[in-house]
Amino acid sequence: MIEIKDLHKSYKMGSNSLHVLKGINFSVEEGELVAIMGSSGSGKSTLLNILGMLDVLDEGSYTLDGVPIKDLNETKAAQYRNKFLGFVFQSFNLINYKSAMENVALPLYYQKVGRKERQEKALKYLEQVGLREWADHLPSELSGGQKQRVAIARAMAAEPKVLLADEPTGALDSTTSYEVMDLIQKINDAGNTILIVTHEPDIADMCKRIVHLKDGVIVEDKKITQVRASQYV
């Protein structure tokens, strides 16, 4: 599903450049649930942003679902993001003047799905994250966990090939975190490929594979036995 070869990325900080990713080789199969771990500054978020085409790579190659991702202009990148990827952010990034349902329906708008169908689908995905009756509420009327579940529903609504989550539990307390992880596990059980960036070991243990990043290189890549979140909920 994801194939990365010899990936380099550096940022210009004034006159010096900061070499963040120093040759990453990495692949993900369909249906995997991968945790990308590392301390802050290890380059894990950068890796995820590049995977999500929110940022561009300097060197190396990236193939997503058999499509080489390179030399993208913003229009093309937007198309690919819309078609392939769903995002979940640490800070939710819901649009604050839109109701939960409208937020979930937004990616479908950019897929040129009709209004009625958008709403039906949005309600279906809200149902899946257990927020059907909160459909008409604004993000400001929702708790952090609810917001993240709306964000997950939004990411899923476009039916992406890969779900990318950047610290999805970073802004949540542990109980809520486990609820969100339970949801993510269920989505993965349904066959979706998911990548999670986290620095919390308990969250990483709920994935099926952990990739450790340190100073821009992968230091460890291991498959683990998944801890089910449902036992904590």
Site string for another protein, 171-200 (x = CB under 8 A): ------------------------------
Tokens (6 digits) for 27: 């692949």
Whose CA is closest to 43, among 195, 201, 202, 217?
217
Outline where the chain has alpha helix (H).
44-51, 74-84, 100-110, 115-128, 144-157, 174-189, 201-204
184, amino acid identity: I
- Name the one range near another protein by CB under 8 A: 51-59, 168-176, 194-202, 219-227: 51-59
The total of other beta-carbon atoms located within 10 Å of residue 28's CB is 20
8, amino acid identity: H
Q: What's the closest the beta carbon of residue 155 comes to another protein, in angstroms?
A: 9
Total residues binding another protein (CB under 8 A): 30
76 vs 44: CA distance, rounded Å? 24
Site string for another protein, 81-120 (x = CB under 8 A): xxx---x-x---xxx-xx---x---xx-xxxx-xx-----
- Name the one range near another protein by CB under 8 A: 13-21, 74-82, 167-175, 196-204: 74-82
Q: What's the closest the beta carbon of residue 55 comes to another protein, in angstroms?
A: 5
57 vs 213: CA distance, rounded Å? 17
Q: 1, 56, 171, 217: which one contacts another protein (CB under 8 A)? A: 56
Tokens (6 digits) for 144: 């952090």
Q: What's the closest the beta carbon of residue 196 comes to another protein, in angstroms?
A: 16
Closer residue to another protein, CB minimum distance, 56 or 227: 56
Tokens (6 digits) for 30: 């369909």
Q: Check residue 49 for interaction with another protein (CB under 8 A).
A: yes
Q: Check residue 11 for interaction with another protein (CB under 8 A).
A: no
Query: Judging by beta carbons within 10 Å of its beta carbon (0-12, 13-18, 19+), is residue 157 exposed, middle or buried?
Result: buried
Q: Check residue 161 for interaction with another protein (CB under 8 A).
A: no
Q: Which residues contact another protein by CB under 8 A?
A: 49, 52, 54-56, 74-75, 78-79, 81-83, 87, 89, 93-95, 97-98, 102, 106-107, 109-112, 114-115, 154, 158
